[in-house]
Structures are given as C-alpha cells and as structure tokens.
C-alpha cells in the first residue's frame, strides 16, 4: 500500500508535470505567435519608415537643388544689377558731358550771333553812308 501511495503520488506529480508542460507548450506557442506578429509589425513599420525616409530624402534633394538654382539666379541678377548700375553711371556721366558741351555751344552761338548782328549793323550803317554819299554825289552832279 505504501508503494501504491508512492506510485499514486508519483503519478499525480507526473500528471502535474505533464499539465505544467502542456501549459508551457501552449504558452510557448502563444509567445511564438505574438513574437511573429511583432516581427511582422516591425517589418511593416520599418518598411513604412524606410519609404518615408526615401521620400523625404528625395524632397530634401529637390529642395537643395532648388536652393542651388536660386542661389545661381541670385548671383546672376546681382551681376546684371551691377552692370546696369555701371551703365547708368556711365550714361549719367555722358549726359552731364553732353549738357556741359551743349552749354558751351550755346554760349558760342550767342557770341557768334552778337558778332554777326554787330557786323550786320555795321554793314547797314556803311550801306546807309554809301547811299547817302551817292545821293549827295548825284545831287552835285545834277
């Protein structure tokens, strides 16, 4: 009987061990399933973020290219502006020179007009003297 109780006790312990092993097996299966689910989610998330990073990298590359283009355009516009400012300054200088020369020519023209007027007045006076002299000679001849 003692042996029977011992066997029965061993049998109960074996059953408990088997139950525990069954629980552990089921727990292991559940954990394996959850682990696979987490791996799948991680793979999906990694793929999603990788795609997002690729898209953002392309957008950043595009923005950097646009920035470079704008920088080049800005440099070109600054160069053109400098040339226009130089041309403007040159034109103003030429205009000032032309205005000065115009004033000189106007003064010269005024002087020539005065000289011409004086010469014409002198000519008119001599012509009148000549006519008067001729009239006087004609009257004496008559």
Alpha-carbon radius of gyration of the chain: 59
Mean pLDDT of the chain: 95
Joined together, the tokens standing for residue 80 give 């053109």
> Terminus-to-terminus CA distance in the chain, angstroms?
202
Which residue has better confidence, 128 or 97?
97
- The band of 76, judged by pLDDT with boundaries at 50, 70 and 90, is very high
Which residue has better confidence, 4 or 91?
91
136/126 Cα distance (integer angstroms): 15
């Amino acid at each position: 009987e003692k042996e029977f109780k011992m066997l029965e006790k061993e049998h109960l312990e074996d059953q408990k061990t088997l139950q525990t092993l069954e629980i552990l097996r089921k727990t292991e299966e559940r954990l394996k399933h959850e682990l696979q689910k987490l791996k799948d989610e991680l793979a999906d998330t990694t793929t999603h973020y990788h795609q997002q990073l690729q898209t953002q990298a392309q957008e950043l590359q595009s923005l950097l290219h646009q920035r470079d283009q704008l920088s080049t355009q800005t440099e070109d516009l600054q160069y053109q502006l400098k040339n226009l400012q130089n041309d403007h300054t040159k034109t103003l200088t030429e205009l000032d020179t032309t205005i000065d020369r115009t004033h000189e020519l106007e003064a010269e023209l005024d002087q020539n007009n005065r000289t011409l007027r004086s010469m014409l007045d002198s000519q008119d006076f001599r012509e009148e003297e000549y006519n008067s002299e001729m009239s006087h000679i004609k009257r004496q001849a008559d």
